[in-house]
Chain A
Amino acid sequence: MSLNSISLRRLAASIGTALAAALPMSASADMSGKTVQWVIPFSETGGSAKWANFFAPLLKEALPGKPTVVVKFMPGAGSTKGANWFQRQKHKDGTLLFGSSGSTQFPYLLGDPRVRYEYKDWNPVMATGTGGVAYLNAKAGAMFDGTANKLKDIEFIYGSQGATRLDLVPLLAWRMLGMKVEPVFGIKGRGDGRLMFERGEANIDYQTSSAYLSGSMPLVKAGTAVPMMSWGALDANGNIVRDPTFPDIATFKEVCEATAGCETKGDAWDAWKAFFVAGFPSQKIAFLPRGTPKDVIDTYVKAFAKVKARPDFAKISAKRVGKYPMFVGAGAKAALGTATSVPDKAKAFVTGWLKEAYGVSLRKK
């Protein structure tokens, strides 16, 4: 347990107690007999489904009156369908919750024509994040010396889900390091990417933290994979620091600084950092619809704070949240702020790069 998350937990707990003291228990706060619907804009099989299924029973216990909490799936159009639907919902009785993910945030940032939703209208109540680790095969790993200087002549193959998804973060990082990485598009999940790496068809890969620990660590131990860098984590001031889950792995920032030709300032860096923040440290956010009154928001914030304060939370959440802070209330709001405010210059840089490097344009046909 890092110091960071202990203090955050204390903070959240104290906010929780403060709220409890400040608010008289209004009659509307009792939700017994009601059914809370937690809508996830993905299918039952994805990471967001796991996330919501993990939190749903805990939330039930923590909400006043213990209402039933059901997770509902509304997949389609890369999660924009569900998000557009949520945009049309208004507050009714506080029984609707929505879960967005990096894949919902990215199209919003990139100006995808299907996006008809506005994050600023929604009320965040909880957010969790993750990290990511890039690794090389043994042959390329032997050339890696903490910089990418000797990796620039290797032809890399990377199994990718698509340049406009979370894969944007690793692809842009490798490009900034001057590496020649050819993405092979069309894989269905990062697990397939790891399999491609294991088969020797790909020689570079990245996984999110939990998948790295369970799927890629064995490869590292067996000597067939060499960790290259983590994306890092954010400290309280928004600076990128070592990922608490992987304190021994250098961050991309460190590798970039050590590599000739890679800069940690300028448009490319701003763009990378913006999309990294949107995709990783505040990857999954739970929202209440627009127009939700403050007392309902507070009820949920309190409930999530209560979940977070459970004595067994660290243990049961180890595989869902890891050592990353779970943001509640004001923290979630701040997380949303960093996740959705990307400077226009950075956006323009990314759209230009996507078009030039992969021919991807998110414009109406």
Chain B
Amino acid sequence: MELLTAALPALGDAANLIFQPVVLGYLVLGVVMGLAIGVFPGLGGIAGLSLLLPFMFGMEPVLGLALMIGMVAVVPTSDTFASVLMGIPGSSASQATVLDGFPMARKGEAARALSAAFSSSLFGGLVGATFLTFFILAARPLVLAFGLPEMLMVTILGLSMVAILAGRIALKGLAAAGLGLMVGTIGEADAGGSLRMATYDIPYLTDGLKLVIVGLGIFAIPEIVSLLRQDKSISSTATLGGGWLDGVRDWFANIWLSVRCSMIGVAVGVIPGLGGSVVDWIAYGHAVQTTKDKSQFGKGEIRGIVGPESSNNAKEGGGLVPTLLFGIPGSGSMAVFIGAVALLGSGDIEVGPSMLKNNLDITYSIVWLLALANVAGTLLCIAASGGIARLTTIRFALVAPFLFMLIAFAAFQSGQDLFDLVALFAIGLIGIFLRRFDWSRPAFLIGFVLSNPAETFTNQAYQIAASRFRKGFEEGIEYIFSPIVIVLIIVTVISIFFGIRQAKSIQAEGDVQSGSKRAPLIFLLLFTAYLVIAVVDASTIPDDVFTDKVFPLTIGSISVACCLYLLFRMMTRPETDTIFADKEVAGDDAESGRGLWSTLAWFAGLLALSALFGFIIALAVFLLAFFRVRAGLEWVRSAMLTAAGIAFMCLVAGLLNRDFPPGLLQSLVELPWPLT
């Protein structure tokens, strides 16, 4: 009751603060800006917030908050456009949405998929805000109950989703996840700073690969290349079925799934240090496990959209708990947000432990501005979804060059290095082959995303547990096997057990035919070779920084063992066995008139030209040539589309104050923006 007496007046104050026309106006302004930025893959809330920062200085606090929260809240909503329509995961919040959202777009049901996703987002956002209102005053002990062993178990629970998404051959999925984990260890180790599969001569590699690049490479590039080869529109039917109202109905039919996934989102979001990376996979896994007919997952199952989308907006609410209670940002955009709040007004508001005591009204304003922004953003998105869905009926040869342009730009934003583009291409190749030979791409991505938390939490928990055990056996056991850990272990075991049984019915890549032995075998050999090299590389790390080598050694060895089994199976089975799955044997890819390499060469051309002449000049040449030669347009239209693309790119980069990749030319001659 004591809580209520503190909360109620503050809630009233917050309502007075928020419900003023000018505040709501700023909120809508922020929402519109956030939607516009969120549509871009790879930019996300940080880019938008940085844009607002110069205006925050001395601004009336509630107005500044409305503007910023409006923007941050809707980015995970609007990035759904890219993941559903184009198969491009815009951020970590929309990876799982790609799995079923994009297949629905290909079936001509993009509007339905979008509005189901938005309804789920809205609901999740509101659940998150409601929960926060009551919970934030009492959340401190719960957050503190999540120590390293608990966080490690949540990470492992996330990894266990690989079991569900492993595909037809469980060990193949495991090996794919192993490769993802190993790719995630590239660069400087967190603990001792040893280099793994990297050298100081290529500083780019010492930082490791960025999620944006891996997400784009694994999901977007293979799909774009495949569609381009078939040269159809994204939607395989000319008339779009399934309007936005159907999507809302779909969501309502699955409301309990939405409720449960929202809860998952809030709960995982509350744990600082994990953030959004696991939550949508756990939600996706939950959606699969609670669905009777699992055959449609990966092919356009609506529950595969409702689950993750409900959880990822609810997570934003949950993520505010560590941010507001402890001053520890749950995500990159929250970190910028904390910095920006200190600039507001006279600088008196400081996000952190003192906030609940001194500024409870502001705290509640933040929570409910978040909810309102979700409502406004979702309504705008649903309204737009019918129209935007028509993009999927445009001939793909006219869309693809712009997509290549966007993902190259997005990739470059992650590190502002030409190597970003090289890395994107390399990961894209891996993605293409994983797709072609029916290796689970979600498993690879889960491995990559959770690689760093899994390694760090394992090492840290081990170190602290060792210290506890030195004090006494009982103290050690108590630390490792807390009640939360035990519950999580049970959930994980159940999830793996059912996951393996169900995995065979979920074929994310569809039914891939098997054919010749040679190509799948060569890929497996290359796959194994990388793992072996990585293991050997890890073993050269000196023993006094054991923490840097133990994780890649262990994971790498297990993955190599999986590969050896797969090799054995390849040698003993006939070429019709599922292990020889190859999309180039039969199906859309094989029947398309265009070759894989000639299509990929276009993208490679864009990157190579960028390295020589800088992005904008390269883009001009690439777009013009593509429209004229590949799409077969006449010169005038080619030139018009090219000009439109470049103008658009310059507008975005100019507004957001971003640079383009420079090339060799730029290092020799000084050129004016945007050619720099």
Contact = CB atoms under 8 A, between A and B. Distances in A.
Interface residues on B, range: 35 or more
A76 B657 contact: no
A84 B203 CA distance: 11
B327 A186 contact: no
A185 B347 contact: no
A35 B46 CA distance: 22
A51 to B, nearest CB: 9
Interface stretch (A52-60, A259-267, A296-304, A343-351): A52-60
A195 B326 contact: yes
A155 interface: yes
A330 B464 CA distance: 47
| Most chain B CB within a 10 A radius of its CB, from A53, A70, A364 | A53
Given A157-B464, A191-B326, A185 B191 contact: yes
A281 B630 CA distance: 61
Interface stretch (A13-21, A42-50, A231-239, A242-250): A42-50
Contacts of A43: 332
A167 to B, nearest CB: 12
A26 interface: no
Contacts of A198: 144, 326
Nearest to A58: B57
Contacts of B347: 315-316, 318-319
A191 B327 CA distance: 7
Interface string A188-206: 1101101110111100000
B460 interface: yes
Contacts of B21: none
Interface string B119-150: 00000000000000000000000001011100
B206 A359 contact: no
B544 A359 contact: yes
Contacts of B57: 57
Interface string A333-365: 000000000000000000000000011101011
A77 B203 contact: yes
Contacts of A201: 147-148, 464
Contacts of B203: 76-77, 80-81, 84, 114
Contacts of A187: 460
A106 to B, nearest CB: 12
Contacts of B544: 359
Contacts of A209: none
B509 interface: no
A213 to B, nearest CB: 9
A50 B339 contact: yes
B335 interface: yes
A215 B327 contact: yes
Interface in B185-217: 188, 190-195, 199-200, 203-204, 206-207
B75 to A, nearest CB: 14
Given A114-B200, A114-B203, A199 B545 contact: no
A45 B416 contact: no
Contacts, number: 147
A365 B460 contact: no
Contact of B195 (A50, A194, A365): A365
A182 interface: yes
B231 interface: no
B350 A214 contact: yes
B206 A77 contact: yes
Given A201-B464, A364-B200, A186 B329 contact: no
Contacts of A45: 46, 329, 332, 335-336, 339
Contacts of A155: 467, 470-471
Given A215-B353, A359-B545, A360-B192, A74 B416 contact: yes
Interface string B418-436: 0000000000000000000
Nearest to B351: A214
Contacts of B192: 185, 358-360
Contacts of B46: 44-45
B547 interface: yes
19 contacts: A43-B332, A44-B50, A45-B332, A72-B657, A75-B415, A162-B191, A194-B326, A195-B326, A199-B146, A201-B147, A214-B350, A215-B326, A215-B352, A218-B353, A316-B346, A319-B342, A359-B542, A359-B545, A365-B195
* Cβ-closest 4 pairs across A and B: A359-B544, A45-B335, A186-B190, A359-B545
Given A54-B342, A54-B343, A191-B327, 19 more contacts: A50-B342, A72-B657, A76-B204, A76-B207, A76-B415, A114-B206, A185-B547, A192-B273, A194-B326, A214-B350, A215-B326, A215-B327, A215-B352, A319-B342, A320-B342, A360-B192, A360-B193, A360-B545, A365-B199
